[in-house]
Chain A
């Protein structure tokens, strides 16, 4: 039995007959404590009409992770609905949405966070449909079941949901509902087909870049190539001679004071087509003031990192004292994980129509809420005058969490009094990305005279950041003493969220250093990790947060051990094939734990190696859709392998040195290894799959290269010369 959060469910009759269920999904304990939730109502998210058609309102962003299919699968199963009766309706952003649960999509949290509220809502509606049928048949609702959109009685009588919807809508929401047992699921756990596929293969995908508004003009912006540089002056004489050019307008410093937000200064060309705007912007003559970033590059940046002063972050016991004790050995190593570009297939874009007293924006975004806030500031309009139409994205991976293109488009629409479609060129998308921040990880360990690792040090030096979080420090292993320090260097390019955020940065050093320690102690890298995972998790502090941390760490400890044991049981960690090297690494993203085993062989290619196979073992609780789940892990592997082979942004005199796919290389089909994905069997709630496949890949690769060559590489990307120059 589960108590429904009745306050957050509201059922009403649908205009024209049927049942409409409204739900508000509270995101914080403060909201949970608030009985008056009328302000959080978001309107009907689930409708059943009298014909039995079920409409599910999707408030989450569809960017390739499959939310638009995974979420309705959950509700369909709790309802006992016929999948073919379900239609998806995409919602515009609504300020009533709770931001964390509904208005923002990210952190691999969509299914994880919506799982329980959707099941409760589905179960509540199911019980009401059963009660309506029970009243007709004059039996107890407890004797009834639902299947394939029918309420079914023990003697085989059936009533379709549509026939019951009106009566059900008049009933009270049950105080308690029983959620289905996992064995009763018909869709969850099955490879239900993605609802976007039919449109996609016909070329009808609903992406932001395809928006077409009557009377719109096309814009392209030439931005200052150096981060935080200033526009001094420009000459548009030649640009205006290009056919189709309507206007040329400066884009000033738009200081919107929004966290993590940056809009480069530039000059916009407005034209009758994208091509005209692209062509004309090349004719602009612009004078910039690059400022101090104009004399920085990656080499000076590395020097700044080496010289930076570390600040204390966390400690347990006295690492420094232990490190100088008689007979104890101190080992250390340093790992570099560079800036990375998103390189999304669909270039950044936004279309805006400023109408004098209102503004509409069409954009693929992970946060309609942030777009609305940004457009408010860019246009000076109040929130209720702003409509954000959320379209699908051609990939996002954190990048479209930021509303910069909506700021630019709405600003230009206001200046021009016309609807404006802004398309970033591929060059814009790479050079002016919100890059994954550079992180250097300095690790030290203390080895006792008995050959045990007793102390752990992590010193993390990183680019000015958009988030400070535990994820960078988390370590699942047990040590007597721990010391962590950090240092933040002023960024030389703008940074933002990039698939898996902190864990990708930190896993490289952490999981390579674990490998180094295991081999130094002549231990098997997997067994060494299992050994270091044994320990008792104790609560530090007495507040609610400390309690949450303890339960979180316990889940992780169990899952790390379960993943490693599964690898052993399935015989996946054996000696490499002749001529190959094999490496392992394990990492968590939130509560999902993923280990990769990478098999490499050495060759004479650009990189000097080839990845032949990646074997992944993942613990994410219930796998809602195994086809999507495997796809996300495969995608996470390929994403991280692109970074490990070709990533890292070079910056010279403040200017990003890559600008398209000829120099920002990404993995192609012929370089893609065989990827074998295993999920640990679990009936626990799902914990997310979009990002967990990325972090452990690079360290597993570097560990495999060591296994193959006896040479330790401590950075990505890896090129042939790194293997040639590395010392054993």
Chain B
């Protein structure tokens, strides 16, 4: 068994009376694509937010690459190699696509206490950013202001920004949500091309995406993980069928 890149132990997070994360144990192995599925409100996004450092758990520990990161804030985790996309697309809307990615490159290119040289003429930022846009298929869209990109393109841009931080772990919160069929097929193909090169945690409702991409799947229900396993095992799991997938869905 490969080493766990992300190891979560007894994680608890509650909001008032609602226990959004209920003693969650989870291991994400180095190199795997690990999908987390579950009905709306199961606590998937809350879990991702705790992995990324946007939320801090009430109890439990999060270990990344052998290091306890439970108390670290999001920027520090980014520097250790955790990157994320958000459920609701989160880009710099006023900036061009290239500016967006260049800023992500800049975040990992030393201190930004540089007050004089124009950042937009800085090839150390622009060249890698352009290459990254190219690789997600937005090469021709670099000069377009992010707000004017199509929804699917904004999702691609967000992933380009995440990749520009050269992460070891990519947290993807519903990357194909709101996409048309063509767009989502394209995104699934792209994410497939990242498999192996990046460890990924994928929260997704689109079962096509999940079963195409995931090496292992964890099923969440009411803040708990009720099953973890290979796709075939999850497909066959009676408890999962009853709780979530539903009999009508052709698996």
A-B interaction: no
Residues of A within 8 A of B (CB): none
